Amino acid sequence: MKKLKERWNVSSNWQLSLIFIVFAITGYSSLQIAKPFLSLVGIPETFEPHWLYRVLRIILIFPIYQVLLIIVGSIFGQFAFFWEFEKKMLNRMKLGFIANYVDSKLKK
């Protein structure tokens, strides 16, 4: 726990607990939202080939997770932590331009 607190620059166990809760809620919620969304756009769970349904669902889960992470993190008062976390993740995926754009809008 100490290494994680240092790595994430978190000072208290309470804040670390909130961060874990946010990750758990976000992960579960993104899984639950993706399934009905695919049905809404006309791709039912019985879609054939079944492997393609799974691939589409995983692709859909990723952006849902990113957005929910910021929303749920904000609800729990951890926006600053999760925004920095999100920026690092986007930069690693060579999508840093998205974070830069949003950052410029947030600073206005």
Q: Which of 108, 33, 106, 17 is nearest to 65 (CA)?
A: 33
Q: Where are the domains of the chain?
A: 2-76
Which pTM was predicted?
0.83
Q: What digits encode the pLDDT tens for the residues 49-95?
A: 989 989 999 999 999 999 999 999 999 999 999 999 999 998 998 88
Q: What digits encode the pLDDT tens for the residues 35-54?
A: 898 889 888 888 889 899 89
Instruction: For residue 36, say if its preceding peptide bond is cis, omega within 30 degrees of 0.
Output: no
